[in-house]
Amino acid sequence: MTRCARFVPALVCLVLGCVWAPAATAQSELGGLELTAPVRQQLYRVQDAWQRWTRAHVQGDEAAASAELEQIELITAHLGMERQPDLASAAAAYGLRAADAGDFERAEAALEAARRLDEGRPETFFAASSIARAQGQYGTAISELARGYLALLEAPRSRDLWLDNLALWVLFSLLLAGGLFAGLLMATKGGSLFYDLARLYSPPLGRAAADALTVALLIWPILLPSGVLWLVLWWSVLLWGYGSTSERAVLILCWLALGATPALLAHQQRSVQLALVPPARLIDHLAADRLYGAVFSDLEVLRSLLPESPIVTELSADLHRRLGQWDHARAIYTELTQRPDRPARDTATAYTNLGVYHHRNGEYETAVAYFSRAADADAGLAEAHYGLAQAYAQLYEFESSHSAMAQAKALAPDRVDRWNAVGDSTEGSAVAVDGGLRRVGELRQALAELWRQPTALASPLDFWRRFRALSLSLGLILLAVAIHLVRRQVGYRTSYFEVSAAERVESRWVKALVPGLASAQREYGGLAFGGILLPVALAMAAVMRSMGFRQPVAFDPGPWPAVTLCLVGLVFVLLTRLAVASAETS
Amino acid sequence: MSEARELNLDGDLRSIQLSKILLVVASYRASGILTVQGEDDIVAVSFVEGAMVTADALNQTVEEGIGRVLQKQGVLSADQFATASRDYQGGAAGSFGDLLVERGLVDRAALLEALRIQTLRLMLQILTWRQGEYKFYSGDEVSFEDGFVPITVSELLIHAVERLGEKVGLIGQLPDIERTYRRVPPRGQVQVMSEDGDGGVGIWITPDQKGLLLRLDGRQSAAEVGRELGLRTAETQYGLYHLLQFDLVEAVGKGASAPGADESVFSLNTADLGLRPPAGERAADPALAEVTIDPADDTAVRAEKERLKAEIFMPPSPGEIEARKAHEQTQETRVPAYAGALLRWIGPALAVLLAVGLAAGLVLRPSSMLLPFSWQENQRSTIDRQIRQSVFQRIDRAARTYFLMEAHYPDRLADLVSSGLVSDSDLRDPAGYELDYATDALSYRVRLRSGNQQIEGLGAAEAITGDFLVDPQFLSAAANAQAPLVLLD
């Protein structure tokens, strides 16, 4: 990788900025994809029908609203799609508004519209949950809420962001619990540490000065940038020698976790970037036959990011074809088949779609030629064999047709049955292929390459820069061991005072409210860390919403489900700890 | 002396040292049986009025222990022991000791002494246990060998201080009770076991130590005070040791702060055991071979028993000797009076400060929790940028939905919140900046602000342009489109 590679993300941002800039987008081009007048009019009719649905819904004319919905569904199907996610979200939002006004009948009608426009949309489930809650139907509310979150996990982009948030939550919880564990060690063993430090220089200084110097020695890292974290590390190193074997092991694991975090986050950042760029939304929606408002501008962003990519070009052709702009699509497919550097196998889908184009026009011999090329390029492409069978049938070459059909059935029996059931016209009997969408994996990989950091380690300095956090962790381990070995020669203060402290914490409330304290007093490092980790993880789950990546939805239930879960979990933990503490006390 | 009281205890040795349990039993002057279940053995110790009278281990019977001691002393041969043991297991009446006495193999005094040494040895062993469970059963019916001189807890702990030291949490040396001591202001609240309850904040002492503390006025020696209180020498010495450990008293006179550097502190604990160190021997010397166990002062027997004593009482290893010497050196420079509130509360106070600091860091800039170091600023900014990007996308999704409903963007972000499309937590910037929102109905811009200062380059701008569902220009272009020209053949 060269230095230029490091600027790629910046260049990408610049490109995105230009594309997204409102003034920079050419209206006539609608984001760069040339649309024919009939397609524009169809899109306009969607917009118009939506406005009429809005009016009818607000006026309570559900019959008119239903008719407009039917109109939207028809146009959407005509444009090669099945769903309208933006309109579904807006309809669900209307449902919420009606429920707020106490009009639950209209709210249900809006929800029904949302379901018709895009069934399985998370926003619809969330709205249904809110409406059910407003009606006092808590069982339904919880059920719809769960279905909403499941729907979120089913969408690749949302799932990726959810997993990224999960990783962040784990790291936050581990590191925060590690910091608090160091604090717990300070609480239980700090007296001994203080004593040992103070006695090193108390004879020449006197007690008061020794105390002050010891306090300064303990808290000086707070003056550094990110001082609290340095304080944690400093204390953990000093206290390492005072810990039991399990406590030392926990500290080492925490240091290593801190050292490994940058590498884990660097890996995560690429996947996050991939989930956040507009093309990710485009890929998600097109794969699910969703026609959303920004589809054309998102495609233009994708073309700006990967201008040379044949997959993106084929994706554009697929979109033209779906919208019914066959001539535009044919030109692009033809260009794709003529690229000399393209592997023959990758041209199979383009050849198939060209075959479909000529089949639709009644040019069956030409169609046979294209389908044959497609089948030669990719013998496993069932659509090519199926198209061949259909074209041969039109040419009365029934033997060849049967042979091709048999091959298609052998490759994909279920799909062939479905195509046979749907193909009710001669022109439409050949089946097109979404070649671009088929190579979404490669497309994602190509996008990921844009954000990939240079991996080559040109010099030891590069190596140091890359792994300095991990080096720091290893350094901490060595430092802690070294201090321990030196201190052992001088002698550690025994845990005399700490044992006294352990005995004095008899209050079950203190034991229950200070996570890990009881275990720390017994020097059970793993249990103490676990005792801290559990409530920390619960608390972090409640606040992750405002700290992590937001889900790309129009609305959701807000923070209350996570907060409720967190509170229930914390209460459960507290009650359990109280019970255990009571049993121990009694 | 306090009155005997009923006591019931049980717990885990991980949370409290056994020496403290013994002190509690002693301070209550309780009678009963203390069972200690460790990893490898179970030991039952019988107490009469707070002093130990027998100790029996599951994996090491009393007869084995006595036999081993007597063989080491040269009183009993291996064959004699084997025969007696076989006969005893064969069903001989009475105890094993009775059998030995009846057969004339040993006199009763030697038997009792061997039993005592065995009991002490076993107790010193279990004092080193760090894991296990203990339980004390109160009860007056405790059987023990007639004539057995009870071993006080103080006596045991004196041996523990000398021989085990820090291994059982007992640091420092035994003090010279012939010196004079005086009280010093306590660094914490002094509480008396069996008088002030069984737990809580404070420096805990036994009733005997309380008596000692109240009468040490810098005029009488500790030994004199102990005698006036009716304490045994061992109780006086251990009591003084305990009070010095908590800086409740200090020695008066020259060289007072470093007890026993050139004194025979070991001579003080010999009365109850019948132990007497030779004159001039240093008590801190780990070579306990010089310790005598025979008050008769017979040189030949004494030499043999010294050797035996050293072996029985598990003299410290060379490593422990070195560590103890190092510790003694540090003790000479120890900070006086650190047993108070400062040491007790400094750790918890610092821990609370740390917890507050971590929470503040988490709230102010969460990414600094994951990437805290200054050289990670780039990566931190990247994470913040990505989270911010997701915030802007969230706002955009909500704003477009709002537009589909109202035909214009919201006037303020608060409108999105009030309509339930976003929540306040969705609008939180990862670096803590304020979000400034401005709209002209068809487009909007979100800028970041810190106080009154705008942060350039980190905002977002969106418009309806290119969105066929809401873009009016697209709508007008399509509406004004000419009808397609149809050519007829």
Q: Yes or no: say if A79 and A323 are a contact pair by the CB < 8 Å rule.
A: yes
CA separation for the pair B405, A51 (Å, rounded): 9
Beta strands in B297-452 (DSSP E): 434-439, 443-450
Which of A503, A506, A533, A585 should we substitute to test contact with B (largest number of B Cβ atoms within 10 Å)? A503
Nearest Cα residue in chain B from A259: B371
Lookup result for tokens 């972000």: B413
* DSSP line for B110-147: HHHHHHHHHHHHHHHHHHT--S-EEEEEE-S-----TT
CA separation for the pair A165, A150 (Å, rounded): 16
CA distance B7 to chain A (A): 14
Q: Yes or no: say if B229 and B211 are a contact pair by the CB < 8 Å rule.
A: yes
- Taking the Cβ of residue B408 and every Cβ of chain A, the question of whether any pair is shorter than 8 Å is answered with no
Band of pLDDT at residue B336, cut at 50, 70 and 90: very low
Q: Yes or no: say if A518 and A542 are a contact pair by the CB < 8 Å rule.
A: no
CA distance A26 to chain B (A): 8
- Please report the residues numbered 187 through 226 in chain B whose beta carbons come closer than 8 angstroms to any beta carbon of chain A: 199-204
Q: Yes or no: say if A338 and A355 are a contact pair by the CB < 8 Å rule.
A: no
Among B200, B466, B482, the residue with its CB nearest the CB of A506 is B200
CA distance B80 to chain A (A): 46
Instruction: For residue B217, give the H/E element and its range.
Output: strand B217-221
CB contact under 8 A, B404 and A161: no
Structure confidence at residue A535 (pLDDT): 93
- DSSP character for B266? G
- Taking the Cβ of residue B476 and every Cβ of chain A, the question of whether any pair is shorter than 8 Å is answered with no
CA distance A45 to chain B (A): 9
Nearest to B464 by CA among B407, B414, B388: B407
CA separation for the pair B369, A544 (Å, rounded): 13
CA distance B186 to chain A (A): 15
pLDDT tens digit sequence for B242-285: 888 777 888 886 444 433 333 322 222 322 222 223 333 333 33
CA separation for the pair A73, A64 (Å, rounded): 14
CB contact under 8 A, B405 and A90: yes
- Taking the Cβ of residue B425 and every Cβ of chain A, the question of whether any pair is shorter than 8 Å is answered with yes
CB contact under 8 A, A231 and B334: no
Q: Yes or no: say if A276 and B390 are a contact pair by the CB < 8 Å rule.
A: yes
* DSSP line for A247-296: HHHHHHHHHHHHHHHHHHHHHHHHHHHHHHSHHHHHHHHHHTTB--TTHH
Q: Given phi > 0 = left and psi -120 to 50 = alpha, else beta, which region is B274?
A: left
* DSSP line for A506-536: --HHHHHHSTTHHHHHTT-HHHHHHHHHHHH
Which of A197, A223, A226 should we substitute to test contact with B (largest number of B Cβ atoms within 10 Å)? A226
Q: What angle do CA A242, A245, A246 make, to 5 degrees?
A: 110
Structure confidence at residue A76 (pLDDT): 92
CB contact under 8 A, A231 and B245: no
CB contact under 8 A, B327 and A491: yes
CA distance B357 to chain A (A): 6
Nearest to A121 by CA among A556, A509, A585: A556
* Residues on chain B touching A122 (C-beta within 8 angstroms): none
Amino acid at B428: R
| Two structure tokens written together for A13 | 């941002």
CA separation for the pair A85, B342 (Å, rounded): 65
**ipTM for the predicted complex:** 0.84
Which of B242, B331, B343 should we substitute to test contact with A (largest number of A Cβ atoms within 10 Å)? B343
Structure confidence at residue A294 (pLDDT): 87
Among B14, B337, B389, the residue with its CB nearest the CB of A523 is B14
Nearest Cα residue in chain A from B336: A207
| Two structure tokens written together for A243 | 């810990």
CB contact under 8 A, B470 and A504: no
CB contact under 8 A, A207 and B339: no
CB pairs under 8 A between A and B: 301
- Taking the Cβ of residue B475 and every Cβ of chain A, the question of whether any pair is shorter than 8 Å is answered with yes
- Taking the Cβ of residue B423 and every Cβ of chain A, the question of whether any pair is shorter than 8 Å is answered with yes
CA separation for the pair B131, B11 (Å, rounded): 11
CB contact under 8 A, B405 and A54: yes
Q: Which residues pair with A290 in a beta bridge?
A: A83
CA separation for the pair B478, B489 (Å, rounded): 28
Structure confidence at residue A585 (pLDDT): 64
Structure confidence at residue A253 (pLDDT): 94
Q: Yes or no: say if B33 and B139 are a contact pair by the CB < 8 Å rule.
A: yes
pLDDT tens digit sequence for A255-291: 999 999 988 888 888 888 888 888 888 888 888 889 9
CA distance A376 to chain B (A): 39
Which of A304, A549, A566, A584 should we substitute to test contact with B (largest number of B Cβ atoms within 10 Å)? A549
Q: Residue B47 — φ and ψ, nearest 5°? A: -120, 140
Structure confidence at residue B171 (pLDDT): 67
Burial of B488 (0-12, 13-18, 19+ CB in 10 A): exposed
CA separation for the pair B348, B345 (Å, rounded): 5
Q: Yes or no: say if B204 and B191 are a contact pair by the CB < 8 Å rule.
A: yes
- Taking the Cβ of residue B255 and every Cβ of chain A, the question of whether any pair is shorter than 8 Å is answered with no
CA separation for the pair A456, A204 (Å, rounded): 55
- Please report the residues numbered 91 through 130 in chain B whose beta carbons come closer than 8 angstroms to any beta carbon of chain A: none
Q: Which residues pair with B192 in a beta bridge?
A: B205
CB contact under 8 A, B344 and A191: yes
Let me know how long chain B is: 489
- Give the three-state DSSP class for A354: helix
Q: Which residue has the higher pLDDT, A402 or B184?
A: A402
Among B405, B425, B469, the residue with its CB nearest the CB of A47 is B469
Q: Which long-range contacts (CB under 8 A, 24 or more apart) does B474-480 make?
A: B474/A27, B474/A30, B474/A40, B474/A43, B474/A44, B474/A47, B475/A44, B475/A47, B475/A48, B477/A27, B477/A28, B477/A40, B478/A37, B478/A40, B478/A41, B478/A43, B478/A44, B479/A44
CA distance B84 to chain A (A): 45
* Residues on chain A touching B199 (C-beta within 8 angstroms): 503-504, 506
CA distance B215 to chain A (A): 25
pLDDT tens digit sequence for A464-496: 777 888 888 999 999 999 988 887 766 555 433
Among A195, A550, A555, the residue with its CB nearest the CB of B343 is A195
Average pLDDT, chain B: 73
- DSSP character for B451? T
How many CB atoms are closer than 10 A to CB B358? Answer: 23
Structure confidence at residue A26 (pLDDT): 33
CA separation for the pair B304, B301 (Å, rounded): 5
- Taking the Cβ of residue B268 and every Cβ of chain A, the question of whether any pair is shorter than 8 Å is answered with no
CB contact under 8 A, B335 and A550: no
- DSSP character for A83? B
Q: Yes or no: say if B205 and B190 are a contact pair by the CB < 8 Å rule.
A: yes
Lookup result for tokens 């808290």: A219
Band of pLDDT at residue B197, cut at 50, 70 and 90: low
pLDDT tens digit sequence for B57-111: 877 777 788 888 888 878 888 888 888 888 877 766 677 777 888 888 888 888 8
Nearest Cα residue in chain A from B443: A22
CA distance B82 to chain A (A): 44
| Two structure tokens written together for B356 | 């507050």
CA distance B291 to chain A (A): 27
Mark the ranges of chain A whose per-residue pLDDT is less than 70.
1-32, 202-204, 423-428, 452-460, 462, 489-508, 584-586
* Residues on chain A touching B390 (C-beta within 8 angstroms): 161, 276, 549-550, 552
CA separation for the pair B381, A11 (Å, rounded): 17
